Amino acid sequence: MRWTPWLDRLGAATSAACGVHCAALSAFLLMNPAIWFQRARYAREIQWLTWLEIGFAAAAVLFAVLALGSGWRRHRHWLPTALALPGLSMILAGVFTRLHDVLFWGAGTVLAGGLLMIAAHGVNVRLGKREREEGIGKRDLKVGT
């Protein structure tokens, strides 16, 4: 698979949407505490929100693996991966652990992870453009010299 900047842009957009969703939902629950305190009563009606969060997390992982993997093969720089690993860990921890049930900590963790993922995709695009402009990369390396 060759490197394409649209994968990084789509990954950054997905991470941003995930972060906005978490921040907006937390703000909504903060303004409507009756819903938060009685969430067991409304569990069936808001079940779709859980599936939306799982979908955001799955899309973030998919785009990160595709975009950062192809970017790594092209520019061989460690910074996008160094930003993405903690970002993905934070998103997954915020969605799939008990942290998800803690109103501000879960949303804050996912929001911070989303910001790290946006940064990772942005750095990956920048490094890919730089590599393309300079013409250096894996295909130009000579083995054994």
> Can you tell me the distance from the alpha carbon of 94 to that of 40, in angstroms, rounded to the nearest whole number?
20
Phi/psi at 41 (5° precision): -70, -35
User: Where is pLDDT greater, at 131 or 114?
Assistant: 114
Alpha-carbon distance of 116 to 101, in angstroms, equals 22
Provide the pLDDT confidence category of residue 145 given band limits of 50, 70 and 90: very low
**pLDDT attached to residue 143:** 43
The set of residues, in sequence order, having a beta carbon less than 8 Å from that of 103 and lying 6+ positions away, is 26, 29, 30, 36
Q: Is the pLDDT of residue 78 over 70?
A: yes
pLDDT at 104: 76
Span 38-65, mean pLDDT? 80
Average pLDDT over residues 60-84: 88
State the pLDDT confidence band at 53, using cuts at 50, 70 and 90.
Answer: confident
Residue 87: pLDDT band by 50, 70, 90 thresholds? very high
